[in-house]
Chain A
């Protein structure tokens, strides 16, 4: 999932060095590196002038930020209301059983990270699973199993 499209210096230069751009910087760093490392967090502090404690507070308040390296494949299970009614939780349970890690964690081989999301707004496709930004409509445990197998063999 890491695209490594920009160097950290390049990202830091994108915005003026003021606190209001803190979230922009965290988002861009995460987009390029998949997570926010302690080093990049320090550089963001220096750039914005926001103390590290406060940057940490922002990075942990918002659910989209990750402070640990992420797996090669990112699996998001939608748990919006429509997906919940159509069995989204069952898919979460099954992922946990199969991958043997908790939601938000990464498998030891660094292949998969899975999380739940609160509605991706594709309710007609419920239950939806988003793997590496691709939507999988009307997912069943069986279909998911196949997909995971295929990705494991990459």
Chain B
């Protein structure tokens, strides 16, 4: 990313106290004019892929062309993901706060003329209220945002993640400086315990209790102890951790350093998926800048406390999100989990006491230390405190990243923040918890979203993927999808997981081919039980969840596959037929030209017919037809 906001030279500015950090912060804030024009262009993955770098170029050349006076020359800032991915590329103009969506390079000239020079909004780029159609001026007023509670994501979209001065101006590293200068390590652990923070990676284990167990292990075995960030976000349909690492890398780093201080660790590791190159780059930059300022490395803030960390890139193995597999991977070996007779806080990396927490968990730590555990427990519900970030994806209008207090009803996230299913019908199910989670049906839409309530209905919080499904999504197909995923990702060490998943998937293959039987349903249940009881790690023991929950809530759909040989959602290829509605078909021939089998026939300008014998059900005709004449049943 580029950086035009640093007016502060950081060379040789090693900080030696909390007071010096504050001085630097004051200096940065004083050097900035709050009324200065600034164009913020979202560079999250969604906006980036939709062309935000081209928007920046267009804005720059429009500014050059118009010969904007140096005094009103705006800064252009690339930030991390704003979360509202379905509306990208997003552009926000400060200080007005005008929020522009779906901005294309051709809009740059108008933005420069109307907004930057004349100070007026470009109305056609504003977000329109879906109910009233009225344009909304600023981000804060949009329902997608104003129903959220952005605590962990508070900096993301506001700061340039590659510029530590932005982080420091926003209050970054205040918690670290406070802890080092006024708290003992024991007080830090106690504060985390008091906050009741639970691990954001999936199972929701209390973080404070984990740290306390590590202290007990250190007492027995002595140091070194290691602190590790689990950034191997592998759940398909989840990108919360990616966004945090890309958009606010210092938050993760500060959390890790605080953990190291609390436990007396000198070395830490950040294990990050290789599919996230930008997250890796931003973390590397953040670490280099923090080292320069004396916030990481030898003798942090001249306190005598030294800690440094290293990034390990993952190499494409889902199982490495599991703690013991992650440790063996850091050691340079294949990521095979081991049985946890001895817990990994006692015997983790290199056989030493190790605290492994998820990215979002670490990012919560500075907030708790800075604002106090009492503030933190005031957010969320008593047994699940704080907020949770979800990636809301699938068949929902507002696809993106949302942060909500724990305990909020599921329906509120999907209908109010997410804007419901396109087309307006109720959702069919919501899949949470990734391959380890389950499908929650519409009838349970009032379920509070917290660790325990989700487990009660057979799903789990997981890392935060929330995939909305509508009536065109088949539960048998979703079950097959997750089983195939886990079958490929199984490390192969234990038999229940390695062979059991293949067998389960085989049964579901039969269902989708119309060859399922009642006995198969019973077999699925007993296989699930065997895998849950016998698998070595959580990848295996939780693997049957998607199938079990769909059997529990959507058994009728399985029965339809067996008895009527029908796929009610129109997904399972062997059970569906594509047909052309003669009343709607205009005979434009565009489907016939695209059909790879050449099996659509008919005269020009007359209704066409699909030869179902030859049809391979690729669906290209349906995708091509502009008149909705192709339907599936």
Contact = CB atoms under 8 A, between A and B. Distances in A.
Contacts of B523: none
Interface stretch (B231-239, B301-309, B338-346): B231-239
B361 interface: no
B333 A141 contact: no
Contacts of B485: 79, 118
B315 A142 contact: no
A61 B86 contact: no
A80 interface: yes
B236 A80 contact: yes
Which of A24, A62, A94 gathers the greatest number of chain B CB atoms within 10 Å?
A62
A140 B619 CA distance: 11
Which of B45, B85, B312 gathers the greatest number of chain A CB atoms within 10 Å?
B45
A124 B481 contact: no
A64 B237 contact: no
B330 A20 contact: yes
B334 A121 contact: no
B315 A63 contact: yes
Contact of A85 (B239, B313, B395, B489): B395
A140 B623 contact: yes
A104 to B, nearest CB: 12
A121 B275 contact: yes
Given A94-B620, A135-B45, 12 more contacts: A20-B331, A61-B317, A82-B237, A85-B395, A119-B234, A121-B239, A121-B242, A122-B239, A123-B237, A124-B88, A125-B49, A126-B393
Contact of B332 (A19, A80, A84): A19
Size range of the chain A interface in the assembly: 35 or more
Nearest to B47: A124
B467 interface: yes
A26 B242 CA distance: 24
A120 interface: yes
Interface in B305-340: 312-318, 329-335
B554 interface: no
Contacts of B316: 62-65
Contacts of A94: 596, 618, 620
B188 interface: no
Interface of B: 45-46, 48-50, 85-86, 88, 233-239, 242, 274-276, 312-318, 329-335, 391, 393-395, 399-400, 431, 434, 465, 467, 469, 473, 478, 481, 485, 489, 491, 594, 596, 618-620, 623-624
Contacts of A141: 594, 618, 620, 623
A59 B391 CA distance: 32
A81 B394 contact: yes
B332 A82 contact: no
Contacts of A79: 236, 485
A27 B619 contact: no
Given A23-B312, A118-B489, A121-B45, A87 B619 contact: yes
Interface in A75-130: 79-82, 84-85, 87, 90, 93-94, 97, 117-126, 128
Contacts of A24: 312-313
Nearest to B619: A90
B465 A124 contact: no
A5 B203 CA distance: 42
A34 to B, nearest CB: 15
Which of A21, A48, A61, A123 gathers the greatest number of chain B CB atoms within 10 Å?
A123
A48 to B, nearest CB: 8
Which of A22, A84, A93 gathers the greatest number of chain B CB atoms within 10 Å?
A84
Nearest to B233: A121
Contacts of B478: 81, 85
A119 B236 contact: yes
A6 B469 CA distance: 47
A58 interface: yes
14 contacts: A27-B315, A58-B334, A61-B334, A81-B236, A81-B394, A81-B465, A85-B394, A90-B618, A90-B619, A93-B618, A94-B620, A97-B596, A121-B391, A125-B46
B88 A85 contact: no
A58 B620 CA distance: 40
Given A61-B334, A90-B619, A141-B623, A122 B46 contact: yes
A81 B237 contact: yes
A133 to B, nearest CB: 8
Contacts of A90: 618-619
Nearest to B623: A140
A21 B275 CA distance: 19
B351 to A, nearest CB: 13
A84 B596 CA distance: 21
A120 to B, nearest CB: 6
Interface string A8-30: 00000000000111111011000
Contacts of B275: 117, 119-121
A7 interface: no
A137 interface: yes
B231 to A, nearest CB: 12
Contacts of B315: 23, 26-27, 62-65
B595 to A, nearest CB: 11
A94 B594 CA distance: 12
Contacts of A62: 314-317, 334-335
Contacts of B333: 19, 22, 54, 58
Nearest to B334: A61
A3 interface: no
Contacts of A27: 274, 313, 315
A137 B49 CA distance: 7
B313 A121 contact: no
A118 B236 contact: yes
B473 A125 contact: no
A17 to B, nearest CB: 12
